[in-house]
Structures are given as C-alpha cells and as structure tokens.
Amino acid sequence: MDKYQVNYSPHIKTDESTPVIMSTVLLALAPPLVWGCFVFGWRALAVTVLTVAVCVASEALFNLALRRPQTVGDLSAVVTGVLLAFNLPATVPLWIPVAGGVFAIIIVKMLFGGLGKNFMNPALAARVFLFSWPRHMNNWVKPFADLPVLRSMSQSEIDALAEATPLRELSSGDFDYSNLINLFTGNVGGCIGEISTVLLIIGGLFLIARKIITWHTPLSFIATVALFSALFPGDNPPLQYMLAQIMSGGLMLGAFFMATDYSTSPILGRGKLIFGVGCGLITVLIRFLGGYPEGVSYSILIMNAFVFIIDRKIRPRRYGTGGAAHV
Amino acid sequence: MAHTFKGGVHPVYSKEHTSASPILEPRPPKEVVLPMKQHLGAELTPLVKPGDYVLMGQKVADSDAFISAPVHASVSGYVRAVEPRLHPAGGYVQSVIIENDYKDAGFKGPPRREDEVDNLSPDDIVQIARESGLVGMGGAAFPTHAKLRTALDKGVSTLIVNGAECEPYITSDHRAMIEYPRQIAEGIKLIMKCLCIGSAYIAIENNKPDAIETMKSVTAKTGIFVVPLSTKYPQGGEKQLIRAIADIEVPPGKLPMDVGCAVFNVDTCASLYRAVVLRRNLVKRVITVSGPVVRDHANILARIGTPISYLFEMCGGFTRRPVKFVMGGPMMGVALATTDAPVIKGTSSLLAFGEERAKHTPMACIRCGRCVRACPMRLMPLYINQSYGRSDFDECERLNVSDCIECGCCAYVCPSRIPLVQVMKSSKYSIAAKKKKAAKH
C-alpha cells in the first residue's frame, strides 16, 4: 500500500513565505540604496555590501557553532544588514560595519533566540552601540563629495568635505528653508539610506500596498512629529519648520522600515498606533530638548521595550462579547 | 456592499475545474462498505448479518442514541460481511459490506401527495428525517433530526440555508443549486413548516452568480430570500454566516440556536425534500472529485460506501503521482491515510495533491500578525502558539483557544508555515485532559 502524507489541515497555504516577505522589503529598500550610492559614490555601496556580508556570515557561523538549523535562508539578516548600513555615514572606516553587523546579529538577535524573539531592533541597537565611536558616526559630508571606495579617510580629509546636517541647522536655527526641496529629493548630507524622503515614502507605501506592513505605525509616528513641530516651531515659520522636521534625520527610514519591524513592534492596529505615537513623542522630546539633534533611533529602541506590555494590554474583543454581540 | 464578516482569507478557489461540470452518476461499484460511524455522534449497531439479502434503501444499522442517524443500503444485494474495515477518518470501524447485484431493487413507494405533505406535523417531519438517515451534507454530518428537534425545543426565529460553499475546489452545492433548485426550495419550505417560521435566507457567495439567479427564480414570493455574500473563506462557517446575515455574534460556548438561528446546508434541504416527498432514504450524495493531480475533475453522484479509489478511477486517475488525499475541502478537510476506505455521508469532496503543494517546513514565528488579522474569531494564534510551546495551557485558555473553529485561516496565511491548527487542537485537548484530571482529584 502506498504511503500518503497524513497531516493537519489546512492542506493549502499562501505562497507568501518569510523569504518572500524579506525579499519584498529588500525591493522597497532598493531605490533609497541606489540613491545613497549615487550621492555618496561607490563607498556607500562598499559599506552596504560589507554590512550585509558580515550580518549573514555572523548568523551562519552562529548557527554552525551551536549546531542549529541554518536560518540565513529567511533573508532577515540581509534586511538587517541593509538597514544598519542605511544608518551609517558613508565615511565610516570599514571596521565599523563589521563591528556593527556582528553586534546586531549575535548580541541583539541570536542570543535572544533568533528571528522573531529579539526585543530590540538589531540594526538600531547596533547603530546606538556604534555611537560609542562618535568621531566616526557623526561625520557628514556634502552630497556628491568624491569619497575613496575602500581606503579609510583621515579626519582632515573628511572635515574638508563636511557640512552641517539639516537637523543640526534646524537645532541651531541656521536652516535655510529654500532647502526643503533638497530634503524631499535627498540632495543633502546624512546617513547612506536616510536622505531621500520621496524614495523612502515610495518604498513605505509599496510595503503598505503589498500588505507587508500596515499604515498605523508610520502614520502615527510621522503625524506626532509633525503635530508637535507645528505646535512648537520656536521662531521658525510653523509649516516649513514642520516639513523640515519630518523630512530630515532618520524619521522616514525609521517610521516606515524600523518601527514596523515585526519582531519588535505590537501586533494589533491599536497597539501599533500607541507605539507610533510613543515613538513620535520621544523623537520630538529628544530633538527639541536633548543635547543630540536626532532622536528617531532612541525613540524606537525605547518603545521596543514597551511592546510586551502593549501586546499584553491591547487584545482583540472576544467574539460574541461586548459591543457587537446582540445578546 | 455584500454581507460578510471580519477577518478571513482569500485562497485560490480552483473551482473553475468543476463549477460547470454537470453531476454525473457513474456505474456503482461491485461492493459498498457502510461504516457504522458516518456522522457526529454515537456508533451504530448493524441490523443485518452476512448472507442477508438487502434492498436498496433498506435500513442496515441504527442506534438508540439521540445524536445518531441510521444507515441504509446504497445498493441491493447480499451482505457479504459485517466486520471492521478502513474508515476515511482513520483506523478500522465496524462496517456492513454489501455485494451489489446491480438490480437496485428497493421500496418504490409512491411520492407523498401535496395534501399528505400538508398534513405532516413538525414531529412527523423530524421522524422522517431521522428514519431517512439524514445528516448535514456540508461536511460535519450532524444528524438532521437532532438539529430539527433542538430547534423545535429552543425556538428559532432565523433560518439560514448555507449555500456559501467557501472551501476551495468544492462545487457540489453549487451544482446542486443549479441542477435541482426546486428540491432545495421545497426542502427549505419543509424546514420552515417544521419550525413554524415564515421566512428563510439562502446565503450564497457572490462567486456563484448563476446559483444566486437560479435560487432567486425558484424562491420568488415564498418568504425565502437569497442573500449574496462576499467571496471570502470561511464565509460558510456557521458563526460567520450568522454574523453576515443576522448581524449577531454567537457568544462563546453557545450554539446558533441560543441566539435564535438555525443553519442548514442547501443539499441537506434537498435531501429532506427527497426523504419527505419522494420517500427516498439517504444513500447517495454529490461529491466533487478534484485537486491538482486529478485527470478528469468531476461532480459525481456516488453511492454512500463507494471506495474512494473507485471514484478516482472513474475520474481517469492522476496526471502525476499523488502524495496526499483529502476528504472535504483543502482548508478543513481530513488527509486520508488510504484510498481504500469508502465515502461516507459527510464526504463533500475528494481531492488529490501532488508533491509541491503538500510540503511545508515550519520556521520560527516572525510575529508578523497575519494570523491575528486572518482569524474570524478574533484570536491571537501567535500567542496561543507561544504559550502552547511552553506548555502553559492556562494561558492558552485565557487566550480563548476554546473559541477556535479550526477554519485554518491562521495556518493558511502563516509565512513561517507553523501548523497552527494542530497547535489549537492540541491545546484544546490538553486543556480538556487537565480539567478531567482536576475533576478526578
């Protein structure tokens, strides 16, 4: 008698697997990556490729060392690598992506049990870890500066190409509002993947349209920052100030691609709204009152710590009870 | 906007293979196997012994239990054996085996006249449903007389007739609505008469416009209303239907009848008509034979007890090597260990799958939340899975795992291929076992 497969229903499944989801995210990240490489040259591509390679290798070696099933095929390490690279200036010496990638994958992700079990966003936690070397992490060069592809640059070389970031200018009151259009297109200095507002929005909307992420977190995050920027513009014109705030720094990258990370964000829409508003509030608090001009990374990491409690408290109404039950 | 419910999924429907295939009645097999367990409820006791000659439609097994329905011979001929045989749900079950003499000799009583039908009391109709062996034809096979009796006792105000047929591949109800709509309509009227209610709703997914039109044309001015529903799985689930039609959510642990609703499958209505008016017992049913590797997809009117392998042979065998057989729909159906078992009253379809569809290796949960959005019962399957993983069954209970209808939406959408339905079933089982143990001490 032939042996047939006998297993539980359902006997059909969606084609959408974890690798497919991760590939879709990578597709959404492709336009800002291309733009980053266009603005900062081959150096940006070298940093990104290196970060991805280190992330994937870290996960593969970790699994090998502990004799666990190999998981790099889920492509999540590739996404982490790209996102970490997006949060680095193109001028970093090449040991920075190596240290960051190892920290993101080994410390933040694998030691907590791997994909889905880490409570902090690996790429962001690694970025904050790398702030231990502020000299390398806070160099911002002009767009289209000619950077060497692989050679480490001396500080004087970098300083010669440097310019203040829009956020720094906003913070000090030196921002020229005729530059808003450059913030929108991405013709500004900054990290590799965070500069082009329009391309990040396109990528984010693509993910929402493909139902990979929902609108809750990005909208509530960005709207909260927008609202408080418009309410407290200081001496600046409110509308322009608000636009400059939401289009500068890592807000778009953070709101669409980092705060929506499955492992480290709430499950339900209502939970995501709370999460997004919390991220927005912490961001403006740091931006307006903190000593550091950017707060997106910290805000998301702080809210990551609240996901457990949000998911515990925000539960769906039980079917057949409460409002819609007519009995 | 069409009526519907929240949650659910949109699987590939794959109904196009058979939605236009008229119901065929091939030559019956030379032997039928009638298991003593074909419905929800008690196992039956055989009333015949080897060597007996039985007529087609003759009762061969019955039980005193309330939740049970007798089984009738689906062919005429000699009883060859009464012995345990392979059952489609697994294992061996006592069965009556009849060798077909191809005479279909049987009681051929005249149909009940209109005035005779009019004079039937609700109790008479319930009794006929019982004696004819009627069970729900949607797949769960709950004895129809038991449902009617409970509905009579509890009182029902809303009668919903389920023609949603939301499971992929299956078109047996669709074809029934196209080919014998009048029998369905007359059966509904009998239930309305039995339950003393003046109206009924036939719920049909809007991917069957021809069935909607046909049912509308035969039910005009009868108090029976055809309600088109959105095409979404599990639209045909009892609780989802009631939500869509009556805008009521059945409370946890309650039955549809507790909120004044009764749901009957369309083909069950037609069977009731045939039992009451044509005096025919339930010995045949329509089965969709389909699946990715079946050569000739078909809707077949098969004798109860026909070997499953025989029906696949009737459909030209397979285009590729089958690795998995499913009885019922692909979302909730049962995988078969063997095709040597017979079809039973609840067999709405038989599906054969090849290699690529059946292989899924589970990976880690990525907390994407798709299972939560898909769940029509508003559960959080990922957290139930997590609690189950650390054997925290109290937490599974707090997460209302008992509300799970095992529709399979969560497992269908899970990108990590986690067998969530298995997790739900197992945690329900563990909770029940724990309670039983606690009750003992």
- Residue A154, number of CB atoms within 10 A of its CB: 9
Partner B contacted by A319 (CB < 8 A): yes
| Domain residue ranges in chain B | 114-276, 370-440
The 10s digit of each residue's pLDDT in B81-137 is 999 999 998 889 999 999 999 999 987 778 999 899 999 999 999 999 999 999 999
Nearest to B363 by CA among B400, B407, B416, B436: B416
Q: Is the pLDDT of residue B358 over 50?
A: no
Partner residue facing A9 (CB), from B250, B340, B421: B421
Q: Can you give the pLDDT at residue A151?
A: 83
Q: Can you give the pLDDT at residue A227?
A: 97
Range A166-183 burial, b when 16+ CB lie within 10 A, else e: bbbbbbeeebeeebbebb
Residue of B nearest to A261 (CA): B368
Which site among A1, A25, A110, A319 would you substitute to test the B interface, given the most B Cβ atoms closer than 10 Å to its Cβ?
A319
Quick one: how many helices (H) and strands (E) in chain B? 15, 17
Tokens of B269: 């209505």
For residue B307, the chain A residues in CB contact (below 8 A) are none
**From first to last of its 327 residues, what are the pLDDT tens digits of chain A?**
567 888 888 999 998 999 999 999 999 999 999 999 999 999 999 999 999 999 999 999 999 999 999 999 999 999 999 999 999 999 999 999 999 999 999 999 999 999 999 999 999 999 999 999 988 888 888 888 888 888 888 888 888 888 877 888 888 888 888 889 999 999 998 999 999 999 999 999 999 999 999 999 999 999 999 999 999 998 889 999 999 999 998 999 999 999 999 999 999 999 999 999 999 999 999 999 987 778 999 999 999 999 999 999 999 999 998 765 444
Q: Can you give the pLDDT at residue B136?
A: 93
Partner B contacted by A317 (CB < 8 A): yes
Of chain B, the end-to-end C-alpha distance in Å amounts to: 55
Q: Between B341 and B3, where is the model more confident?
A: B341
ipTM of the complex: 0.91
Distance CA B161, CA B150 (A): 17
- The gap from C-alpha B170 to its chain's centroid, in whole angstroms, comes to 11
Three-state DSSP state, B286:
strand
For residue A311, the chain B residues in CB contact (below 8 A) are 383
Q: Can you give the pLDDT at residue B1?
A: 45
For residue A6, the chain B residues in CB contact (below 8 A) are 90, 324, 335-337
Partner B contacted by A325 (CB < 8 A): yes
Nearest to B378 by CA among B9, B8, B10: B8
What letter represents residue B353's amino acid? Answer: F
Residue of A nearest to B398 (CA): A318
Q: What is the DSSP letter of B320?
A: S
Distance CA A245, CA A227 (A): 10
Which of 3.40.50.10810, 3.40.50.11540, 3.40.50.10320, 2.60.40.420 is the CATH number of B114-276? 3.40.50.11540
- Residue B191, number of CB atoms within 10 A of its CB: 26
Tell me if B163 sits within 8 A of B215, measured CB to CB.
yes
Q: What is the mean pLDDT of residues B50-58?
A: 95
Q: What is the mean pLDDT of residues B304-330?
A: 94
Q: Can you give the C-alpha Rg of chain B in angstroms?
A: 22
Partner residue facing B249 (CB), from A1, A17, A324: A324
- Residue A237, number of CB atoms within 10 A of its CB: 11
The sign of the torsion formed by the CA atoms of A296, A299, A304, A307 equals: negative
Q: Can you give the pLDDT at residue A148?
A: 84
Tell me if B132 sits within 8 A of B282, measured CB to CB.
yes
Q: Is the pLDDT of residue B2 over 70?
A: no
Confidence of residue B392 (pLDDT cuts 50, 70, 90): very high
> How far is the CA of B214 from the CAs of A72, B174, B383, in angstroms?
54, 11, 45
Distance CA B102, CA B78 (A): 11
Distance CA B290, CA B295 (A): 8
- Residue A92, number of CB atoms within 10 A of its CB: 25
Query: What is the residue-averaged pLDDT of chain B?
Result: 93
Pairing outcome for strands B349-353 and B284-290: parallel
Are residues A10 and B332, on separate chains, in Cβ contact within 8 Å? yes
Q: Is the pLDDT of residue B360 over 70?
A: no
DSSP β-bridge partners for residue B94 = B84
Nearest to B141 by CA among B334, B346, B328: B346
Q: What is the mean pLDDT of residues B249-268?
A: 94
Distance CA B277, CA B268 (A): 14
- Residue entry with tokens 């650390």: B390
Helix axes A197-209, A18-40, angle to 10 degrees: 170
Q: Can you give the pLDDT at residue A323?
A: 61
Report the gap between the CA of B254 and the closest CA in chain A (Å): 9
Ramachandran sector of residue B193 (left: φ over 0; alpha: ψ -120 to 50; beta: rest): alpha
Report the gap between the CA of A96 and the closest CA in chain B (Å): 28
